[in-house]
């Protein structure tokens, strides 16, 4: 539940950068529960042309996805009180095959009583024709 609107501070920027770093690390160490807690209970995650909704939907998606290394790039943050929009790039290296996927993440964040959380995430993949919902094959 969002708290009272506040002006963005350097602390907001630091907390958001930390939130998105924890996103990558939690996945890299296979801590699905810690990863799910970074999202609001009603969060929507868009990837591969599908939507995964809420903590249970996110948990199901994360447990079914291949493991690997998530290397997140610097994040661009646009703050508006208790809401933020972020864009960041990501390099994923699949653990079993070593296959690389290059992606751009767009996220909507909200300030909650527990801190900043991800309310919506959209993952698009780089390919020969630009960004797409699915990686090139």
Cβ-Cβ contacts under 8 Å for 22 (sequence gap 6 or more): 34, 38
53-65 residue pLDDT tens: 999 999 999 999 9
Whole-model pTM: value is 0.91
Which domains can be identified in the chain, with CATH numbers? 10-132 (3.10.450.50)
- pLDDT tens-place string over residues 39-52: 999 999 999 999 99
- CB 94, CB 15: distance < 8 Å: no
Condensed to tens digits (0 to 9), the pLDDT of residues 121-131 reads: 999 999 999 99
């Amino acid at each position: 539940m969002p708290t009272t609107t506040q002006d963005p501070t350097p602390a907001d920027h630091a907390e958001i950068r930390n939130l998105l770093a924890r996103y990558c690390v939690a996945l890299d160490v296979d801590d699905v529960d810690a990863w799910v807690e970074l999202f609001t209970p009603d969060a929507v995650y868009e990837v591969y042309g599908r939507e995964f909704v809420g903590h249970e939907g996110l948990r199901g998606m994360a447990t079914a996805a291949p493991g690997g290394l998530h290397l997140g790039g610097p994040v661009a943050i646009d703050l508006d009180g208790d809401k933020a929009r972020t864009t960041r790039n990501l390099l994923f290296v699949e653990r079993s095959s070593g296959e690389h996927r290059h992606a751009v993440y767009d996220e909507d964040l909200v300030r909650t009583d527990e801190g900043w959380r991800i309310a919506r995430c959209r993952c698009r993949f780089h390919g020969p024709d630009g960004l797409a919902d699915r990686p090139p094959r």
